[in-house]
Amino acid sequence: MNNFKFIILILLTTFLMGSSFAVGKIGLSYSSPLLLAALRFILAGFIMAAIVIMLKRPHPTSKGQWIKMFIIGTFQTAGVMGGIFLSLRTITASESSILTFSNPLLVVVFSTIFLQARYKLYQWIGVLLGLVGVVITMGAQIEFNIGILFGILSAVFWAISTLLVKKWGTSFDTWVLSAYQMFFGGLLLLLASFILEKPYFILNVNSLFILLWLSIMSSIVQFAVWYYLLQKGDPGKTSAFLFLAPFFGVLSGWLLLGEKLYPSIIIGGLFIISGIYLVNRNFQQKNNLVKNTLHINKSV
């Protein structure tokens, strides 16, 4: 792949990752948060499921495999996206994207604790920089905001789902797993919407456009481009560009929502971006974990 094509595609996929936070926050003007997340992933999962069925991609052959896929969807789609959309009610899209995309830092910590993985010194420096960045970003809030907790929980769920995919993912076709975990997660979000909130969706041209953008562009297209880059290029090099996602999250929040760029957000974001870059540099060569980014970034 030539450099120009790589740059265009990496900018496209990370832009779709990051800007989905601002688009999602706009969508909350027309829908309750959990219902919007549910509709997004039920639609995206349904479309992808139809595609993998038509392409005759290999599906699970046992009940246990379907259960594992459901569990991954519980954390990856229901947990992560539920946390993100709930956080967007009370904090900015910039803050939510920064907190959520700190998940690669948690993967290092959780992998060390639960999988006995080993990392280079600069990767641990990246974790430290990222944690400092989270503290600085949280400092933008004069008082503790529940949205911060939801943003942190989304990163925790994302890291857990990454480890689950590492443990179970090799037994699944990537596209099949992506389709059904999104669909299952969407169904769980729909159930949660009716239990935990008063669901509503105002149907008009704007809300329909937002829903379709989140489902097709920010879910299916974003994942397809990211997966293509990981397959055709160097996974280590590709994953190092994850730092662009929170950058686009902050930039789109400023451009689309007029969010103020407080110094604490900018400085904290730079720390986290630096940490993500260090953590993902040569990730596969050392730990063979970067394959998980096939899955951990497909839904934002």
Cβ-based neighbours of 151, under 8 Å, separated by 6 or more: 83, 84, 87, 91, 95, 96, 98, 99, 100
Check residues 88 and 136 and name the one with the higher pLDDT: 88
Least confident stretch, 64-73, 138-147, 208-217: 138-147
Read off the pLDDT of residues 71-87 as tens digits, 9 standing for 90 and up.
Answer: 999 999 999 999 999 99
Q: What is the pLDDT of residue 125?
A: 87
Mean pLDDT of 157-169: 88
Give the global pTM.
0.85
User: Which range of residues forms the domain containing residue 90?
Assistant: 3-296
Q: Under DSSP, is residue 139 helix (H, G, I), strand (E, B) or coil?
A: coil
Q: Give the count of domains, the chain.
A: 1
Q: What is the pLDDT of residue 83?
A: 95
Q: What is the pLDDT of residue 292?
A: 45
Give the confidence band of 284 by pLDDT, cuts at 50, 70, 90: very low
Give the C-alpha separation, 101 to 238, whole Å: 16
